């Protein structure tokens, strides 16, 4: 591949989202379309908790490798967003408000008993990718946030409309994400466009985003397989 | 949990296999029962190649941590089994004979293009488990071989009977495994029974075997989801 302009790179990144972002996954369509039972929504929330809870570990290991105070302050904001400041709850705490609202026992959720092994493998692969790959690839893997406002607004409006067991309070996790994600993207995308300055680095950046899309997709595959069709939760996993 | 006798520990390990080994997975039943199309069998062989190809990496990192020549020689045998000796083909090479026999392009198989992301996540989780956990847990995670002669004989006899595109030569991978696996188990099981000498270590050993069963199971979940029911290969994955 020959080198792309920065805007050409951005277009190539957006094309990956068009093809691979999990907004196209049938489980997502069922989730926001009101086609799932409460037990299936519980399974989604319980599994997705492990992803949410692992994000700060991912961000902390990326933070640890950033070379300047400016870059570290920028990335530190993500830790505040997810872990809170001791007064305002962070994303992990807000996700537990969602699992509470769905009637799941908080102790059970946090224990990770009942988690699908495939969720664990995919999420752990993400944390390790960020820990082990170049900084550029690690930052690029965060760029699925370019696509998240769309999926979040579909999810929130669809779930509120279609499930009587879901309230605005239950979904309070998502509201701050609508402003946090674009702020995160503004930084990460400009970093990537500036630092992916060879064809090889651009290919790494595109591969990192593909990898990230794949692992979000794989999480919905596992949920769909276990709880929708054919509906075969593996031994030991949560049963609604 | 209170401490088990060595034979009690072995019984507890066998009970995990009874519950969780992938011999109970519907994809396995379909595979040996002749219920899959050639394309579905290809998808299985292509994905399973990544598992086979990663086993020597797993064994080498375990070997690197063994403290004595006796232990290292014992474990080195596994590398010979999988990587060959330059004259006799090892397991990885024999697996490629299987993918050849199924009409897959060898270059495509080895490139890992088309691999299900969930396969990669599960297999990588295994390699990392062995690299990062205690030696005792790493060795215990190999104990699914206690259950493999059964699944192999079901697979070989069922596949030969039920698929006209499968020959004894195609399945030559499996024959040596029927003698290698019990030899591996004899060592690993006696090591585990001797060294898991507290209740806590016994619990670690049981958890390691559960983990290993889960990741074999998750690989079949992913195949079943993508290629059987509902039959939704993720973007970029192999399409028969």
Q: Which of B35, B225, B233 to mutate to test the interface with A (most CBs of A within 10 A)?
A: B225
Q: Do A221 and B225 touch (CB under 8 A)?
A: yes
Residue B217, chain A, CB below 8 Å: the answer is yes
- Cα angle for residues B173, B179, B181 (degrees, 5° grid): 85
φ/ψ bin of A235: left (φ > 0), alpha (ψ from -120 to 50), beta (otherwise):
beta
Rounded CA separation B66/B69 (Å):
8
pLDDT of residue A8: 96
Q: Which residues contact B73 (CB under 8 A, 6 or more apart)?
A: none
Say if residues A221 and B118 touch (Cβ distance below 8 Å): yes
Return the number of other C-beta atoms located less than 10 Å from residue B117's C-beta. 24
Nearest-CA neighbor of A96 among A77, A78, A111? Answer: A111
> Chain-centre distance of CA B76, in angstroms?
18
Say if residues B216 and B15 touch (Cβ distance below 8 Å): no
- Alpha helices, DSSP H only, in A64-173? 69-83, 91-101, 106-111, 117-132, 135-140, 148-162
Say if residues A44 and A171 touch (Cβ distance below 8 Å): no
Rounded CA separation A203/A190 (Å):
16
Please give the average per-residue pLDDT across A202-224, as a whole number: 97
Size of interface A-B (CB pairs under 8 A): 100
pLDDT of residue A209: 98
Q: What are the tokens at A214?
A: 């794949």
Q: A-chain residues within 8 Å CB-CB of B117?
A: 122, 211, 214-215, 217-218
Query: B54-74 pLDDT, tens per residue?
Result: 999 999 889 989 888 888 889
- Nearest Cα of chain B lies from the Cα of A88 at a distance, in angstroms, of 34
pLDDT of residue B48: 97
Q: A-chain residues within 8 Å CB-CB of B20?
A: 234-236
What SS3 class is residue B103? coil
Please give the average per-residue pLDDT across A140-158, as a whole number: 93
Q: What are the tokens at A101?
A: 């609202």
DSSP E strand boundaries for B23-120:
none
Q: What is the mean pLDDT of chain A?
A: 94
Residue spans per domain, chain B:
6-227
Q: What are the tokens at B228?
A: 């059987």
Q: What percentage of chain B has pLDDT greater than the value 70?
A: 100
Return the number of other C-beta atoms located less than 10 Å from residue A2's C-beta. 6
Say if residues B115 and B69 touch (Cβ distance below 8 Å): no
SS (H, E, C) B151-166: HHHHHHHHHHHHCCCC
Residue B57, chain A, CB below 8 Å: the answer is no
Instruction: Give the global pTM.
Output: 0.86
Residue B232, chain A, CB below 8 Å: the answer is yes
Respond yes or no on whether ipTM tops 0.90: no
pLDDT of residue B210: 97
> A14-227 maps to which CATH number?
1.20.910.10
The sign of the CA dihedral A157, A159, A163, A164 is negative
Would the pLDDT of A1 be above 80? no
Report the C-alpha dihedral over residues A197, A201, A204, A205, rounded to 10 degrees: -20
Rounded CA separation A134/A140 (Å):
10
Fold of B6-227: Heme Oxygenase; Chain A (1.20.910)
Q: What are the tokens at B26?
A: 């519907």
- Nearest Cα of chain B lies from the Cα of A209 at a distance, in angstroms, of 13
Cis peptide before B26 (omega within 30 of 0): no
Q: B-chain residues within 8 Å CB-CB of A125?
A: 120-121, 124-125
Residue A232, chain B, CB below 8 Å: the answer is yes
Q: Which residues contact A115 (CB under 8 A, 6 or more apart)?
A: A46, A47, A50, A237, A238
> Chain-centre distance of CA B47, in angstroms?
12
Q: What is the DSSP string of B31-75?
A: HHTT-S-HHHHHHHHHHHHHHHHHHHHHHHHHHTT--SHHHHHHH
Query: B96-154 pLDDT, tens per residue?
Result: 999 999 999 999 999 999 999 999 999 999 999 999 999 999 999 999 999 998 899 89
Q: Which residues contact B93 (CB under 8 A, 6 or more apart)?
A: B84
* DSSP code for B115: -
Nearest-CA neighbor of B34 among B230, B227, B178, B165? Answer: B165
Say if residues B144 and B216 touch (Cβ distance below 8 Å): yes
Q: What is the DSSP string of B120-156?
A: HHHHHHHHHHHHHS-HHHHHHGGGGGGTHHHHHHHHH
Query: B184-219 pLDDT, tens per residue?
Result: 999 999 999 999 999 999 999 999 999 999 999 999
């Amino acid at each position: 591949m020959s080198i792309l302009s920065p805007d050409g790179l951005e277009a190539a990144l957006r094309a990956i989202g068009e093809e691979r972002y999990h907004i196209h996954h049938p489980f997502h369509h069922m989730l926001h379309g009101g086609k799932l039972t409460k037990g299936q929504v519980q399974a989604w929330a319980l599994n997705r908790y492990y992803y949410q809870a692992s994000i700060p570990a991912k961000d902390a290991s990326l933070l640890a490798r950033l070379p300047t105070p400016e870059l570290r302050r920028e990335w530190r904001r993500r830790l505040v967003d997810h872990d809170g400041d001791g007064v305002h709850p962070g994303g992990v705490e807000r996700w537990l408000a969602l699992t509470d609202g769905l009637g799941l026992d908080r102790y059970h959720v946090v224990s990770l008993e009942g988690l699908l092994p495939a969720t664990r493998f995919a999420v752990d692969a993400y944390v390790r990718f960020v820990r082990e790959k170049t900084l550029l690839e690690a930052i690029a893997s965060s760029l699925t946030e370019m696509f998240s406002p769309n999926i979040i607004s579909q999810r929130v409006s669809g779930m509120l409309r279609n499930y009587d067991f879901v309230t605005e309070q239950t979904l309070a996790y998502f509201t701050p994400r609508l402003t946090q994600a674009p702020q995160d993207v503004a930084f990460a995308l400009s970093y990537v466009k500036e630092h992916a300055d060879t064809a090889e680095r651009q290919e790494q950046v595109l591969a990192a985003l593909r990898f990230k899309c794949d692992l979000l997709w794989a999480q919905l595959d596992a949920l769909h397989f276990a709880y929708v069709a054919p509906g075969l939760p593996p031994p030991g996993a949560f049963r609604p």
